[in-house]
Amino acid sequence: MRIVLLGAPGAGKGTQAQFIMEKFGIPQISTGDMLRAAIKAGTPLGLKAKEVMDQGQLVSDDIIIGLVKERISQDDCAKGFLLDGFPRTIPQADAMKEAGVPVDYVLEFAVPDEEIVKRMSGRRVHPGSGRVYHLVYNPPKVEGKDDVTGEELVIRADDEESTVRKRLAVYHEQTAPLIDYYKQEAAAGHTRHYKVDGTQSVEQVSRELTDILS
Ligand SMILES: Nc1ncnc2c1ncn2[C@@H]1O[C@H](COP(=O)(O)OP(=O)(O)O)[C@@H](O)[C@H]1O
For residue range 153-202, list pLDDT tens digits in order.
Answer: 999 888 988 999 999 999 999 999 999 999 999 999 999 999 999 999 99
The CB of 138 under 6 Å from ligand 1? The reply is yes
Torsion of CA 180, 14, 160, 45, to 10 degrees: -90
Cα dist from 199 to 11, 46, 86, 203, whole Å: 8, 33, 21, 11
Cα dist from 203 to 28, 55, 212, whole Å: 19, 32, 14
Q: What is the ipTM of this complex?
A: 0.87
Ligand 1 mean position, distance from CA 108 (Å): 14
Which pTM was predicted?
A: 0.91
Query: Any binding-site annotation on 2?
Result: no
Q: Is 32 helix (H, G, I), strand (E, B) or coil?
A: helix
Which residue's alpha carbon is at the smallest distance from atom 10 of ligand 1? 12
Active-site position among 88, 119, 124, 131: 88
Cα dist from 32 to 111, 188, 208, whole Å: 19, 30, 25
Cα gap 16→104, rounded to integer Å: 17
pLDDT (tens digit, 9 = 90+) per residue, 64-109?
999 999 999 999 999 899 999 999 999 999 999 999 999 999 999 9
Average pLDDT over all residues of the chain: 94
Query: Any binding-site annotation on 87?
Result: yes
Residue pair 173/57 in contact by the 8 Å Cβ criterion = no
Residue pair 95/110 in contact by the 8 Å Cβ criterion = no
Using only the alpha carbons of the chain, give its radius of gyration: 16
